[in-house]
Amino acid sequence: MSRNLYDLIGLAAGICFILALKGLSSPKSARRGNLIGAVGATVATVIVFFYANEGKALNNQTLILAAIAFGTLVGVPAARKVQMTQMPQLVALFNGVGGGAAALVAIVEYLKLGDTASTAVVIATVFTVIVGCVSFSGSIVTFLKLQEIMTTRPVIFPLGRQIIALTLIGVLVSGGWVISAGGTTPLLVNGLLSLLFGVLFVLPVGGADVPIVISLLNAFTGLTVAASGYVLQTTLLIVAGTLVGASGTILTRLMADAMGRSLFGTLFGAFTAKAQASVGETEARPIKSGSPDDVAILLNYAQRVVIVPGFGLAVAQAQQTVRELADLLASKGVEVAYGIHPVAGRMPGHMNVLLAEANVPYEQLVEMEEINPTFPQTDVVLVVGANDVVNPAAKTTPGCPIYGMPILDVALAGNVIFLKRSMRPGFAGIENELLYETKTTLLFGDAKDSLTKVVSALKAL
């Protein structure tokens, strides 16, 4: 394959990546965008085998094919079998693997070039190693937090900020050492310190903010891939990495705004926040619980109902049942909408994808800014497995983990129904005072089972 043809096909693959991002910007076109991106990635991988660089054949083809086969055998079953509730963890792992792979490729290329590497290539290599290693180790910590293998609360320790700052200085100094002196030892030291910094970077982040960090690490991975593309002199990698880095950065900013805090506050706010009471036994307080029949009666005589989905909906796999409930209400003349918080669930778009699986009409999915003004005219809000995104503490309790985060103002509605398994706090680990309000009715149990009973009771009215 000639260089011109190779570049032309690479340009087509790059266009596929751009179209994929455009498609992913809307739930209606997300599936198509994902497929276009997959086609572009496949083309970009396959054309490598048909291009001989300056007359030299591609080396290590057996190892490359074996690696592709291994990745396919692991990746396809993992992607097909993963539950929607575990999708954020999978995304975190994919982010980390991408950053780690780019760092390893840059290290191998640096060792192969040796003293012939230009200063620009060495700088790009150091950048790739630093950011790639931070993305890899940081993503592993986000996976452990989301999987609840480790605590989801911020992990802080004495002199934490100072230790993190010293580690970052060590990363930068060792990077300068590689650029000025070269050699394998400085590069390995730089990589190890970067891995340590990635862990320390994510530990202070609380569970509610982990999705923001996943998005940030995704941007890091994109920048790493772009830098490795410069090292390898591969334009397509530069294009793909830049697109991922730019889109990840924009998404991180949007998510931080949705949480109502600065990115710095998200990452290091735990070191300055006031101490919070530990989650555990709380003083018994009166609540109003109801039966499926009670909930059905409230819904039957409502004129407007807003459904607020949360992570509990995903855990129970109740999206089909909630769609059935919404259709039944609509057949009775009830106006139904879904209130979607930008960070509901544990990753951006989590609820949109979940409800799309149940073929919920897109026009019924209403973003927070549009739905909030309508709550005073809403008769019943049905909160299914959500907590933090409707918790008034975000407005009333300075110093709490979610303070300053814009929320869905469900407290303004006439009645609020919470579907919960127990009185356990949400992912942020704080109480929701709305649960104790007189207008709030709690329906305990598995969300899918509870909704099924509500549907049956509603049909009988």
Give the pLDDT mean for 230-253: 86
Residue-wise pLDDT for 58-113, tens only, equals 777 888 889 889 988 988 888 888 776 677 788 888 888 888 998 998 898 888 88
Contact indicator for 295, 444 with CB cutoff of 8 Å? no
Q: Among residues 99, 112, 369, which one has the least CA distance to residue 223?
A: 99
Phi, psi of 163 (to 5 degrees): -65, -40
pLDDT score, position 114: 78
- Grade residue 348 by pLDDT with cuts at 50, 70 and 90: low
Is pLDDT at 365 greater than 60 in this prediction? yes
Element (H, E) at 244: helix 235-258
Catalytic residues, which ones? 388
In single-letter form, the type of residue at position 405 comes to M
pLDDT computed for residue 59 by the predictor? 74
Q: Look up residue 278 and give its DSSP letter.
A: P
Q: Which distant-in-sequence residues (6+ apart) come within 8 Å of 457 by Cβ?
A: 292, 293, 295, 296
The more confident residue out of 265 and 122 is: 122
Question: What residue has token string 């290539």?
Answer: 121
Average pLDDT for residues 127-143, to the nearest whole number? 92
What integer pLDDT is reported at residue 7 of this predicted model? 81
The pTM is what?
Answer: 0.74
The domain spans of the chain are 1-81, 89-271, 292-460
Which of 222-226, 315-319, 371-375, 435-439 is predicted most confidently?
371-375
Q: What percent of the chain has pLDDT over 70?
A: 90
Percent of the chain with pLDDT over 90: 35
CA–CA separation, 410 and 416 (whole Å):
7
What is the average per-residue pLDDT within 398-412? 84
Burial group, residue 87, by CB count within 10 angstroms (0-12, 13-18, 19+)? buried
270: pLDDT confidence band, cut at 50, 70 and 90?
low
DSSP state of 53: B
Strand partners for 309: 384
* Mean pLDDT within 22-43: 87
What distance in Å separates the CA atoms of residue 386 and residue 407, rounded to the nearest whole number?
11
User: CB–CB of 36/43 below 8 Å?
Assistant: no
Q: Structure tokens of 438?
A: 């007189």
Separation between Cα atoms, residue 408 and residue 131, nearest integer Å: 36
Residues 209 and 403: their CA atoms lie apart, in Å, by 12
pLDDT band at 344 (very low <50, low <70, confident <90, very high): confident
Residue 68 · residue 76 · CB < 8 Å:
no
- Do the Cβ atoms of 355 and 307 come closer than 8 Å? no
Q: How far apart are CA 389 and CA 382, in angstroms?
A: 13
Written as one letter, the residue type at 230 is Y
Please determine, looking at this structure, whether the domain spanning 292-460 carries the CATH number 3.40.50.1220.
Answer: yes
Contact between residue 308 and residue 408 where contact means Cβ atoms under 8 Å apart: yes
Mean pLDDT of the 150-174 span? 87
How many CA atoms lie less than 13 Å away from 269 in the CB half-sphere? 24
Structure tokens at 182: 């070269």
Angle at 275 between CA 269 and CA 278, to 5 degrees: 115
**If 0-12 CB within 10 Å is exposed, 13-18 middle and 19+ buried, where does residue 253 land?**
middle
Q: Mean pLDDT for the chain?
A: 85
Residues 6+ apart with CB under 8 A from 131: 99, 103, 194, 220, 221, 223, 224, 227
Residue 129 in this model has a pLDDT that exceeds 90: yes
Mean pLDDT, residues 142-156 taken together: 82
The token pair that represents 249 in the structure block: 């950065």
Residue 52: predicted pLDDT: 59
> Is 43's pLDDT higher than 50?
yes
